[in-house]
Structure 1
Amino acid sequence: MSGDIAVLGVGMHPWGKWGRSFVRYGVAAARDALADAGLEWRQVRSVVGADTVRCGYPGYVAGATFAQALGWQGARVASVYAACASGAQAIAAARAQILAGLADVVLVVGADAAPKGFFAPAGGERPDDPDWLRFRVLGATNPAYFGLYARRRMACYGDSPDDYARVKVKNAAAGAHNPNARYRRAVSAEEVAASAVVADPLRLLDICATSDGGAALVLSGMDFARRHGAADPVRIRAVSTVTPVYPKTVLDLPDIATDSGVASASGVATDSDIATASAADVPAVDRPAVDRPAVAAETPPAVDSFRASIARAAYEEAGIGPEDLSLAEVYDLSTALELQWYEDIGLCEEGEGASLVREGVTALGGRLPVNPSGGLASFGEAVPAQAIAQVCELTWQLRRAAGRRQVAGARVGITANQGLFGHGSAVVALR
C-alpha cells in the first residue's frame, strides 16, 4: 500500500497581532482549506488539532475545540502537543488514520494567540520542566541560546554577522510577496546591522517575533482524491517525527526550540539529555579549509545529528535525497539557525551553510530556495500552526500557485521543524 496521502486543501489566517481568540484564527483557516478542497465540513471524518498550551483549556484540547466551533457532526477528534513540532505531529496522526482506513478525509488545524515578547514557560511553578529551570535559575531566554549558537558558528566555521544579515534580507524579500506574512517589507543588511542588539551577535532583525495566526490542511487518501476529481494532487510522501539517540556521546550546545532548552551543565548524562542526544550513526564529514580562531582547532564541532537524523528519516521514507529537492521550508527561529538547517537537511556539508546564502543559492531565483514563504523571519511564531503553514507553502509552490515568490519548476519540497524535548519533524511533499 502506498504511503502517499493527498493534500486536497490548504488555508491560512494571516499572521499578525490581532488580539483575538486562537479559535477564530483556526476556524478561518479551516474554512479556507475546505473551500480550497471543494468539500463541505460534514464530509470531514476526523479533526486533528495542534495544541496551544498558552490559550487555556480550549488550547489543550484543540481538536475538540475546532470541531465544536465548526459544528459537531460526529467526526473523530484528536489533539496533539509537541511545542513547535505540534503541527507536523498532527499531520502524522492524520496520515496514520488515513492509511489505516479510519477516515477518508481529515482536517488538520493549528492556531495560536501568542503573548508579546519571548515565550515564558506555561503553567506556573514547574521545577521538573527544563524551560522553567532555565528561565528561573539561569535567566536564559530563547534569544540567549540563539546568540550562543550564532557565536559557536562564528568560532567553528567563520560565519559572521554579515552572513546572518543576509539570511534576514533573503527571507524578508520573499515575505514581501506573501499575503499571509506579518512583515511584508524588504529590509537591507544595513537595517539589520542598525537594529538593537538582543543577544550578541544577534540583533532584533535576526530573531523571529511571536505572532497570532492559523493554518489548516484537508488531507485524504489517494482513492478518495481521485473520486473527488483530484487527478494530480500534491502528495505527502513522508512525515518524520524521530527522536534523538541515547546516550549522547559528545557534549555540545543544546538543540534549541521555542519550548525546549535542555542540556546537562555538569557534563554528566541525565534523563533530560535524551532531549538533545545526538544520533551515533551519523558519519563524520570533511570540512573545508578556512581561517578559524585557534579555539576551533582545540574544540572541533560535532555534527548536530539529531536534526540531521530528522531529515534523513524523511528522505529514506520518501525514497529521495537532498539532490531531488526543489525547495525547503525550515525553522528559522534565528538567522544563524537557518544556516545550521542547510547543513542538517543535507544541502551542504557541515560548516558550509554560510557559503550558500553568500552565493544566493537559497534565495528566490537561486538553485534551491529556502523559506520562499518568508519563513519565521516574516511570519513570527504561532507555535502550533507553523509546521502546518510550512506544508501550506509547499502545496502552493508545487501547485505553481505562489505568485511572485514561485519557485520555478517546483516538484519536491521538504519542511523541517523542531520542538519540545526530542520532538523533531520533517515532511516531504511532491507532485
Structure 2
Amino acid sequence: MSTTRDIAVLGVGMHPWGKWGRNFVEYGVKAARDALADAGVRWRDVQFVSGAATIRNGYPGQVAGATFAQALGWQGAQVNTSYAACASGSQALAAARSKILSGECEVALVVGADTTPKGFLKPQPGDRPDDPDWVRFRIGITNPTYFALYARRRMALYGDTPDDFARVKIKNAEHGAENPNARYRKKFSAADVAASPMVADPLRLMDICATSDGGAAIVVSSLTYAKKIGKGNAPRIRAISTVTPTFASALVEMPDIATDSAVAAPPQSFRAALPKKAYEEAAVDPKDVSVAEVYDLSTALELDWIEDLQLCARGEAASLLRSGATKVGGRIPVNPSGGLACFGEAVPAQALAQVCELTWQLRGQAGSRQVANAKVGITANQGLFGHGSSVIVTC
C-alpha cells in the first residue's frame, strides 16, 4: 500500500465530557497537554496549531487555533481555525494533514473543545434561507424531530422497531460504562429506555444524545518525523473525507416526511459518499474494518451509519445489531467508546474524540472495551449545512 498520503498519530488526549460550565479553553488545553505528553513532543517543537471552531463561545471560539496557541504559550507556531459544525474537528485535522504533506511542517497539534448550553442545540441568530438546516429549524423540525424522521423511514422501509433502537442505547451504554472520559457511565436496560419520556415519536429521551462540555486533541506528524523520534510504528491516518452533498442529495438529505414503504431503499445519502471517498483514498475495503466510531446523535441514526459505511447491506443493520456483531467482542464493534450516547455533543471535539478512540484501539490501549486485533478503524459524522467527515486510521 502507498504511504505517500499517510501521516502519523503520535499522541492523543481528552478532557472528560460532562457539564462542567467552565471556559472551553480549559478543556482544550488539558486535552492538548495530554496529547503532547502522550506523543513525547515538546510544545515548543509544534510547528502548526489547528483549532476546531466553536460558535457558542464568542470570538475566542471563532479563532480557536490562535486561542489555544496563546493559552499554551506563544512560541511562533502557525495557526489555523476550521469550522464545519460537527465535522469541525475533522476539517482541522485535514488542515494539519495538508500542511504536513505539503512539507510546510513536520509536527502539528489539532485541538477542539466546547462549552454548550443546556437543552438541544439551536441555530445561531440570523436568516439563512439557503441553508436547509436553518429552514428545517424554522418550520419546526428540530434535531429530535429530524432524527425521528430518519427513524420512521427505517421502520417503514426495513421493519426496524423501537426495540431495535433501544438495543443501540443498551449496547453503547455498556461500552461507555468502561470509558473514563464518558459523561454517562451507567448501563441501561430496555425497560429503562422504554420508561424515558417520548421526545419525537418513535425516539425517547434515551434515544437522543445530550449536549456536553469537553475537549480532544491529537498530535500528528510526517512519517519521517515519527521515525526520527522512535515512533515509526504509530497509527497512521490513511484518509480524511469531507465531501459535500451532490445537488440532488442536498435536496433529499432531509428524510422524506412521507415515506413510501414499497421503496426498496432510501435515496442515495451524502452520508454514504463520505466513507466511499475515504475507502478509495485509503485503498481499504469495508470488509477490512475492525472497528467503527459513528455519529449516533440518535440510536436509529447509528443503524443508518452502519449501512452507509458498508459494514452490512442496506436494511440489515438491525439484524447485525441483534446478532451481537456490533458489540465489543462481536465481528464489527461500533462505538466501543460509548458514542455520543455516553458523551453528548461537544461539537468541535467530536470528530477528534472519534480518532482518539481509534488510536487507543489500534494501540491496544482501550482496556476492558478493547477490540481484539484492531487494525483498521473508520469514523463518520454529519454536521449542519452539508458538512460531514469520515477518517480512516490504520496501524
Aligned to 1:279: none
SS state at 1:84 partner: coil
Q: How far apart, CA to CA, are the structure 1 residues paired with 2:253 and 2:40?
A: 47
- State the distance in 1 between where 2:309 and 2:176 align: 22
1: distance between equivalents of 2:352 and 2:157? 33
Match of 2:327 among 348, 351, 363: 363
Match of 1:243 in 2: 244
What is the TM-score when the length of structure 1 is the normalising length? 0.88
Partner of 1:336: 300
In 2, Cα distance between the equivalents of 1:332 and 1:56? 27
Q: Is the 8 A contact 2:128 2:134 kept in 1?
A: yes
| 1:79 alignment partner in structure 2 | 81
1:36 & 1:318 partners in 2: Cα distance?
26
Q: For 2:374, give the aligned amino acid.
A: A
Change (3 A) 1:325 1:300: closer
Q: Percent of aligned pairs with the same residue?
A: 67
1:243 deviation in Å? 1.6
| Cα distance in 1 for residues equivalent to 2:97 and 2:221 | 8
Once residues 379 and 249 of structure 2 are traced to their aligned partners in structure 1, the CA distance between those partners, rounded to angstroms, is 25
Cα offset for 1:389?
0.2
Matches within 5 A, 1:207-286: 207-248=208-249, 252=252, 254=254
Alpha-carbon distance change, 55 to 35 in structure 1, aligned in 2, over 3 angstroms = same
Amino acid at match of 2:228: R
Displacement over 2 Å in runs of 4+: 123-136, 246-249, 299-305
- Report the AA paired with residue 117 of structure 1: G
1:39-118 map, 5 Å: 39-118=41-120
Q: Tell me, in whole angstroms, the C-alpha distance in 2 between the residues paired with 1:2 and 1:131.
A: 37
Q: State the distance in 1 between where 2:179 and 2:191 align.
A: 23
Q: What code does the residue aligned with 1:313 have?
A: K
Letter aligned with residue 181 of structure 1: A
Please report how far the alpha carbon of residue 127 of structure 1 lies from its aligned counterpart in structure 2 after TM superposition: 5.0
Aligned partner of residue 83 in structure 1, secondary structure: coil
Preserved contact between residue 304 and residue 344 of structure 1 (Cα < 8 Å): no
Q: 1:162 offset after TM fit, Å? A: 0.4
Q: Is the 8 A contact 2:14 2:353 kept in 1?
A: yes
Q: Find the residue that maps to 1:166 and give its secondary structure.
A: helix
Structure 2: segments with no counterpart, 5+ residues: none
Question: Can you list the C-alpha shifts for 1:81-112, whole angstroms capped at 9, x where unaligned?
Answer: 00000011111111000000111110000000
Residues 105-184 of structure 1 mapped to structure 2, 5 A cutoff? 105-124=107-126, 126=128, 129-136=131-138, 138-184=139-185
CA distance in 2, matches of 1:195, 1:248: 34
Name the SS of the counterpart of 1:82 in structure 2.
Answer: coil
Is 1:400 paired with 2:364?
yes
Name the TM-score, length of structure 2 as normaliser: 0.96
Equivalent-residue separation in structure 2 for 1:132 and 1:350 (angstroms): 29
Q: What is the alpha-carbon distance in structure 2 between the residues aligned to residue 239 and residue 127 of structure 1?
A: 30
Give the letter aligned to residue 140 of structure 2: G
Residues 409 and 203 (structure 1 numbering): CA distance in 2 closer, same or farther, change over 3 Å? same
CA distance, structure 2, for counterparts of residue 401 and residue 302 of structure 1:
38
Root-mean-square deviation (CA), in Å?
1.8
For residue 30 of structure 2, what is the amino acid of its counterpart?
Answer: A
